[in-house]
Amino acid sequence: EVQLQASGGGLVQAGGSLRLSCAASGITFDDYLIAWFREAPGKDREEVSCISSSDRNARYADSVKGRFTISSDSSKNTVYLQMDSLKPEDTALYSCAAASGEYGSSCAIVAARQYLPYWGRGTLVTVSS
């Protein structure tokens, strides 16, 4: 059974930093993708970033490029999202999602808005002005 656990959210002032973690069990980091999404009140869910075993480079939404960095630690089966220079508009519920095996392991799947079978519960990020 695949399980994802997102953590690290909190309240931070604009300009500050947070690091989110997505701990994954039940998938191998030899064949995976993990993506971060966020959803703010009244807005559609937005892909923030994606990392995979198949792609050379990670994906980032234009709104976070240069400020957020995604990374993985296979020894801990964990993907991190380092968020710097936070803005009030980054306030949202952040969730991680994953795919592997028959579901694919390239972030192209996320770009194509294809089905992601595994989702974790979100962690709330609030950025005050």
For residue range 41-97, list pLDDT tens digits in order: 999 999 999 999 999 999 999 999 999 999 999 999 999 999 999 999 999 999 999
Burial class (CB in 10 A: 0-12, 13-18, 19+), 18: buried
User: pLDDT grade, residue 123 (50/70/90)?
Assistant: very high
Residues 6+ apart with CB under 8 A from 10: 18, 124, 125, 126
pLDDT of residue 5: 97
List strands edge to edge, sheet with 78-83.
Answer: 3-7, 18-25, 78-83, 68-73
For residue range 91-118, list pLDDT tens digits in order: 999 999 999 988 989 999 998 888 999 9
